[in-house]
Chains A and B, each alone.
Chain A
């Protein structure tokens, strides 16, 4: 298995340079429209792009889609509706010259590994979302790709189905010796499945790091919001603090003006035992308050409030990526 080194630009959409080692799972995270799917399309060869995608000593970029051997699990799965589950999974090996019986047996094994061996003869139209997603993952893995691209594999699934599949996928990806790129907008996917997280914002890489680094010191408002933190950019530094550290009051509190904001409550929703407020205070900030305080202060959307945070609760780190 081979080292991946890519530097691609989809004009007007996204520009990314990164490397990955065999066996690594890299989560690509970012808001909608950040260019995540375009990046996958460029690597698979489905989206016109410039640059290079080196996998070992091959430059995939110069190859047509079918010669790249990049497994793609599409967001809407794109299972062939006229083929049964097992035929879908056998399709890749079949078109690469494996004989019918052998490909079918191997495909059946893949389905069984994903826990859906009994659904082999069902058409995609007869499968639930979670089952179809399993078939799609099996199809992507059955062609033994050097590189596996998963586009939002849990989108549109029930929470419990997604949770079960997430646990299983962790196991399958651990035993897969190629490189996996997992596009997601869900922090849980990135934190539980990935060895490394690549944050894309506005068509460019905003941050690369281990899941715990990215979760502890987010560099984009999107990721900060996903992991439940506030992040404020100040000159050449980021200042980061949790919603529990924020004090909410109706009148201007005493103290330093540095960690003080005035704003309007945008929303208030239960979050664990607390009520999480989203406040438009220049930056959008989140604050956790008790249900009691919410009632007492009348904290509903539209309410003007003051937010403050103690300097000791704020973590400050430099802007330079790392």
Chain B
């Protein structure tokens, strides 16, 4: 550490900071250390694990895209349009963020379950119901991940400011053109961050998914549910699966960071 002209960092700050690093990293390090690598490869060869991994990655990606397509417009409304009840609306749409996931699952059931307020008419009209399907998994993921997407994109839109929108208007651009060609490009780093956050939240989703959709291999069994179920029978296998998930999430986040966030952080 180079000499800081303002003096050394005080121990009262340094010690808790080091403890924080320990608390965050120790469990992961121990987990990695106690997994045997051949076992990891065996786990990856099983049909269940591959299905669950694929389901997790694909549903999280679709959920993230849905959350973007719906959440970006909502974020723009919250950031750019004055209307009564705006603060209330902002507070309400972030509720799923702080809701215990299992409660989210119950709420989804009440609304979209086979006898739910929306689910029943939907079933009568189309013969389709969300619960226990891959669409149900995606719905649960969108529900818990979208608030993260909305909040971080709204922050990015706000900090970009309205002066560029004003300049575009004086040049003759409509609101839609301004949105496409000015507002969104300027908020891109924030939008990318929101998507990554939403994707990560979705990948780890467990409570709402299992409550709403149960645990059927191939259709609704995502990695977190598989790990939870395996844990009850075979600790080593669960450990190996956990490591796979850790690698996938860290790998994807790192790739996205390089590609998208690198621009915004310079």
Instruction: Count A/B pairs, Cβ under 8 Å.
Output: 55
0/1 string, A61-83, CB within 8 A of B gives 1:
00011111111101010101110
Neighbouring A residues of B169 by C-beta, 8 Å:
45-46, 64-66
A-side interface size class: 20 to 34
- Determine whether the beta carbon of B171 is less than 8 Å from that of A81: no
Tell me which residues across on chain A come within 8 A of B171, comparing CB atoms.
66, 91-92, 95, 139, 143
Cα–Cα, bound, A66→B166 (Å): 9
In the complex, A179 has a CB within 8 A of chain B: no
For residue A96, CB closer than 8 A to chain B, the reply is: yes
**Taking the nearest CB of chain A, how far is it from the CB of B170, in angstroms?**
4
When the two chains form their complex, are residues B182 and A80 in contact, meaning their CB atoms are under 8 A apart?
A: yes
Provide the residues of chain A in CB contact with B93, threshold 8 Å.
Answer: none
Measured between alpha carbons, how far is A268 from B188 in the docked complex, in Å? 53
> Any chain B CB within 8 A of the CB of A44?
yes
Q: Are B185 and A72 in contact (CB under 8 A)?
A: no
Confirm or deny: B7 has a beta carbon within 8 angstroms of a beta carbon on chain A.
no
Q: Does B164 contact A (CB under 8 A)?
A: yes
B167 beta carbon closer than 8 Å to chain A: yes
With contacts A65-B169, A80-B182, A82-B185 taken as known, whether A95 is within 8 angstroms of B163 at the C-beta atoms is no
Q: How many residues of B contact A (CB 8 A)?
A: 17
CB distance from A230 to the nearest CB of B (A): 40
Which A-chain residue is minimally distant from B160 (CB atoms)? Answer: A81
Task: Report whether A66 and B167 are in contact in the complex, using a CB–CB cutoff of 8 Å.
Answer: no
Of the candidates A72, A76, A80, A96, the one whose C-beta lies within 8 Å of that of B170 is A72
Are A82 and B174 also in contact (CB < 8 A) when A72-B167, A74-B163 are?
no
A-B contact pairs, 21 of them (CB 8 A): A44-B170, A45-B169, A65-B166, A65-B170, A66-B172, A66-B173, A67-B172, A69-B172, A72-B170, A78-B163, A78-B164, A80-B168, A80-B182, A82-B185, A91-B168, A92-B171, A95-B172, A95-B174, A95-B177, A96-B172, A143-B171
What is A's interface to B at a CB cutoff of 8 Å? 44-46, 64-72, 74, 76, 78, 80-82, 91-92, 95-96, 139, 143
List 18 additional contacts besides A82-B186, A96-B172; criterion CB under 8 Å: A46-B170, A64-B169, A65-B166, A66-B171, A66-B172, A67-B172, A71-B170, A80-B164, A80-B186, A82-B185, A91-B168, A91-B171, A91-B173, A95-B171, A95-B174, A95-B177, A139-B171, A143-B172
